[in-house]
Structure 1
Amino acid sequence: MSRRVVTLAHYYTQPEIQQMADKVGDSLELSLYAKECAADVIVFAGVRFMAETAKILNPQAEVILPDTNSTCSLVTQTDVAALKKWRESYPDHVHVSYINSSAEHKALSDWIVTSRNVDDVIAHLYAEGKKVIFSPDRNMGAYLNFQYGYDMPLWSAVCEVHDKFNQAALDEAFAATPGAKYLIAHPESPLPVLLHADYVGSTSGMLNWIKAYDREPEATIFVATEEGILYNMHAARPDLRIVQAPIYAGCQCNQCPYMKMNTIDAVRKAQRGEGGISIDYLDAALMDAARLPIERMLEFSRRYYA
């Protein structure tokens, strides 16, 4: 009897990989799909923490990551033992963790959030009179603290892709670009860049902003996030001038090296069961502990965004 194989791909993978997928989306969309799809095998063209999340939410399925080395700097920069001590130093705080984190990290969390729902979840917790600590993304936490006047203690990891965007390069690019200019940015970017942005949001949020764009038709729209999403933006609005924001000296070349490990050959081999790594190393107790804060986030999202 044949097994049902479902392929998921993040927006940051190359266009050819997205075309091979049954579902393309951001972290929240793919998390929900992984939980609800009736798959025997999930091939996750993304990075390791995403495949781990899919396994945690759908433990009956075999989850395969096409390349074992496709990790994330937010994971590699976080020592879980140190994180545990940090969390224990704030016993009266709620620990909110960004989904870009390992299974062990999630197991130490009270809530998991994505870039799409982080604002709403933390606002909900503060409205309930709770105090919050936030990990692992320092840039995202700094933006939330500035934007909403929070005083959340922050962990110190950053996304190595988004952290390269900088205000000086943007100023140069804006000065050299005639006509109207806009900047949309992912909240993993540094605070000076985010404060310059006309819109700050998740990959899906930025894509929706582009789809709904109705301002100056000749404007240049700079996008401060991994270049993969520009494929989707150009497909949705070929009439617009959309470019990646520069990272230094006008360079517009910011790729996630880990996402790009999802090659056509690696994904095809994983689909055939001939390659990749199976996410079979998470024990049941760890998955149960990590699932709790993820389910809390998913239930919140179902109610809040219904």
Structure 2
Amino acid sequence: MSRRVVTLAHYYTEPHIQQMADKVGDSLELSLYAKECEADTIVFAGVRFMAETAKILNPQAEVILPDRGSTCSLVTQTDVTALKAWRESYPDHVHVSYINSSAEHKALSDWIVTSRNVDDIIAHLYAEGKKVIFSPDRNMGAYLNFQYDYDMPLWSAVCEVHDKFNQAALDEAFAAIAGDKYLIAHPESPLPVLQKADYVGSTSGMLNWIKAYNQAPDAVIFVATEDGILYNMRKARPDLKIEQAPIYSGCQCNQCPYMKLNTQQAVERAQAGEGIRIDYLSDAQMDAARLPIERMLEFSRRYYQ
């Protein structure tokens, strides 16, 4: 009997990798799909924490990551032992962690969030009178503290891709355009960039903003996130002038090196059963990490459906 292989790809992978996938999406969409798909094998064209999340949510499936090097700076910049001590220093706080984190990190969390639902989940916790600490993304936490006047203590890690966007380069790019211009940005970007944005949201949120755009047709729309999503945006709205936001004067070339390790050859090998198997997580680790993820998924089902 043949095994059912399902290939998942994040928006930040190359267009030809997305075309190989059964499902393309952001972290929340892919997490839900991984949990519910009836797959014997899941090939995850993304980064390691995404593949780990798929295994945690669908432990019966074999999960394969195409390339060993597909990690994330938010993971590599976080020492889990130090994180545990930091969390224990706030015993009366709820620990909310961004999904861009290792399985060990998730197991130390009370809630997991994605960039799409982080605003709503943290608002929900504050409405219940809870105090919150946030990890691992310092930029995202700083934006939330600024936007909603929270006082969350923050862990100090950043996405090395989004952290390169800067206000000075944007000011220069904006000054060179005489007509209308807009900026949409992912909340992993630095606060001065987010303060300049016309819209701040998740990868899917930015894509939906582009799809719904009905303002000046000749405007230039700058996008402060990894360049993979520009393929989807331009495919959805070929009539618009969409550019990646610059990271320094004259450069619009910001890519995640880890996502780009998902080459056609690597994904094809994974689909054939080769690659990095996510088989190193213990049942206890997966159980501990699954609880905060399930809280997020249940909240998302109730809030967004």
TM-score of the two chains, using structure 1 as the length reference: 0.99
Structure 1 segments of 4 or more deviating over 6 A?
none
Aligned partner of 2:59 in structure 1 is 59
Aligned partner of 2:15 in structure 1 is 15
Percent of paired sites with the same residue? 88
Give the unaligned 5+ runs of structure 2: none
Which amino acid letter does the alignment assign opposite residue 40 of structure 1?
D
* Partner deviation per Cα, 1:213-258 (whole Å, 9 max, x = no partner): 0000000000000000000000000000000000011210000000
Aligned partner of 1:27 in structure 2 is 27
Aligned partner of 2:72 in structure 1 is 72
Aligned partner of 2:291 in structure 1 is 292
Mapped to 2, the partners of 1:183 and 1:71 lie a distance apart of: 28
Mapped to 2, the partners of 1:79 and 1:146 lie a distance apart of: 26
Mapped to 2, the partners of 1:121 and 1:15 lie a distance apart of: 32
Paired residues of 1:41 and 1:62 also in contact (CA < 8 A): yes
Matched position secondary structure for 1:291 = helix
Aligned partner of 1:155 in structure 2 is 155
Mapped to 2, the partners of 1:282 and 1:242 lie a distance apart of: 41
Are residue 276 (structure 1) and residue 270 (structure 2) matched?
A: no
Are residue 165 (structure 1) and residue 169 (structure 2) matched?
A: no
Paired residues of 1:26 and 1:204 also in contact (CA < 8 A): yes
Mapped to 1, the partners of 2:204 and 2:108 lie a distance apart of: 27
Aligned partner of 2:239 in structure 1 is 239
Which amino acid letter does the alignment assign opposite residue 285 of structure 1?
A
Mapped to 2, the partners of 1:250 and 1:84 lie a distance apart of: 42
The equivalences for 1:1-306 within 5 A come to 1-273=1-273, 275-306=274-305
Mapped to 2, the partners of 1:100 and 1:250 lie a distance apart of: 30
What is the count of residue pairs matched by the alignment? 305
* Partner deviation per Cα, 1:78-133 (whole Å, 9 max, x = no partner): 00000000000000000000000000000000000000000000000000000000
- Structure 1 position 177, deviation (Å): 1.6
Which amino acid letter does the alignment assign opposite residue 55 of structure 1?
K
- Structure 1 position 178, deviation (Å): 2.4
Matched position secondary structure for 2:214 = coil
Mapped to 2, the partners of 1:240 and 1:249 lie a distance apart of: 23
Which amino acid letter does the alignment assign opposite residue 111 of structure 1?
W
Mapped to 2, the partners of 1:112 and 1:57 lie a distance apart of: 13
Which amino acid letter does the alignment assign opposite residue 223 of structure 1?
V
Matched position secondary structure for 2:19 = helix
Which amino acid letter does the alignment assign opposite residue 202 of structure 2?
S
Mapped to 2, the partners of 1:29 and 1:65 lie a distance apart of: 18
Mapped to 2, the partners of 1:245 and 1:237 lie a distance apart of: 18
Matched position secondary structure for 1:20 = coil
Give the unaligned 5+ runs of structure 1: none
Matched position secondary structure for 1:221 = strand
Matched position secondary structure for 1:287 = helix
Paired residues of 1:172 and 1:250 also in contact (CA < 8 A): no
Which amino acid letter does the alignment assign opposite residue 151 of structure 1?
D
Matched position secondary structure for 1:64 = strand
Mapped to 2, the partners of 1:10 and 1:111 lie a distance apart of: 22
Matched position secondary structure for 2:64 = strand
TM-score of the two chains, using structure 2 as the length reference: 1.00
**Which of 98-107 and 169-178 deviates more?**
169-178
Matched position secondary structure for 1:51 = helix
**Which of 174-183 and 197-206 deviates more?**
174-183
- Structure 1 position 276, deviation (Å): 1.2
Which amino acid letter does the alignment assign opposite residue 93 of structure 1?
H
Mapped to 2, the partners of 1:182 and 1:198 lie a distance apart of: 6
Mapped to 1, the partners of 2:176 and 2:10 lie a distance apart of: 32
